[in-house]
Amino acid sequence: MLPRILLVALVALIGASLCMFRVFEAEKVILFQLGEIKRADYTPGLHFMIPFYQNVARFDARLQTIEFEPQRFLTGEKKDVIVDSFVRWKIKDVVRFYLAAGGDPRRAQILVYQKVNDGLRNEFGKRTLQEVVAGDRGAIRGIVTGTKDLGEELGIEIVDVRLKRIDLPTEVNNSVYERMRSERARVARQNRASGEREATTIRADADRQRTVISARAYRDAEILRGEGDATAAAIYASAYGRDPEFYAFHRSLNAYRESFTGQKDLMLLKPDSEFFRYFRSPGPR
């Protein structure tokens, strides 16, 4: 009796497991009935189905990333650029996703890859090479990411499109770098010429100011010297006018001192020469 009960319980357990399925938070589930989509709005939890008559297909609802191979795009100037990018996406409408990709995740990635590439190609074709390289990456990414019909056909949401690197083709790198070097050299020559011009102007102005200052200083020195000489002459004249005899005596002493500075000094004069007047008669005349 006991083995029969165990057998019935085992059959019931197997039947129950075939009738139930669990939906996790990180997935979306489609219920098929004889190959026809019956339901796709399941919430996370435990759900039921009719075994063999119905079946379910599971799809990853988490954020997914597709790394693109570097692609060659044409700019508005008909110049080639090599763009390395990736896209982050997730399933938004699982039924539309299943119908567009045939339930094949790999095919879905290929379709997303093609759609994003088409969007990037259109945006690059509207811009010049300088705009693309200099600062329009964020604008391009925002436009491609915000294009509503980009993912609606596939039932997905394009969360983000990132441009990792934008390079020039190898065959044009050298010419571009040479043009950049020439441009930098031209700017450097222009800056050096401007600097030399400014330096010449500054030096000329400094020389002019130096000449003016020197001339003014020489003029002021001559004026002061003249005023000093005039003052000295006035003092000498005043002193000489007060006592001419003393002034003559003082001048004679200075002459004696200057004439006989060494032991070998020799002067030939008559004894009654005016030069020795104060030796003969120290007093006033």
Residue 282: count other Cβ atoms within 10 Å of its Cβ.
8
Q: How far apart are CA 268 and CA 270, in angstroms?
A: 7
Does 74 score more than 70 pLDDT?
yes
Residue keyed to tokens 């020039």: 168
For the chain, the farthest-separated pair of C-alpha atoms sits apart, in whole angstroms, at 180
Q: Would the pTM count as exceeding 0.75?
A: no
Q: Which amino acid is at 72?
A: R
Q: Residue range 40-48: average pLDDT?
A: 84
Checking if the pLDDT of 281 tops 80, the result is no
Residue 68 has pLDDT above 90, yes or no: no
64-173 CATH pick, 3.20.20.140, 3.30.479.30, 3.30.1370.60, 1.10.10.10: 3.30.479.30
- Residue whose C-alpha is closest to residue 48's, from 13, 9, 18: 18
Where is pLDDT greater, at 217 or 50?
217
Any idea which of 31-40, 63-72, 125-134, 220-229 has the lowest mean pLDDT?
125-134
- 49: phi then psi, degrees, rounded to nearest 5: -155, 165
- Give Cβ neighbours of residue 47 (< 8 Å, ≥ 6 apart): 20, 21, 22, 23, 29
Q: Nearest-CA neighbor of 34 among 58, 54, 56, 57? A: 54
Residues of the chain with CATH 3.30.479.30: 64-173
Write down the pLDDT at residue 135. Answer: 58
pLDDT tens figures, 231-255 = 888 887 777 777 676 677 767 777 7
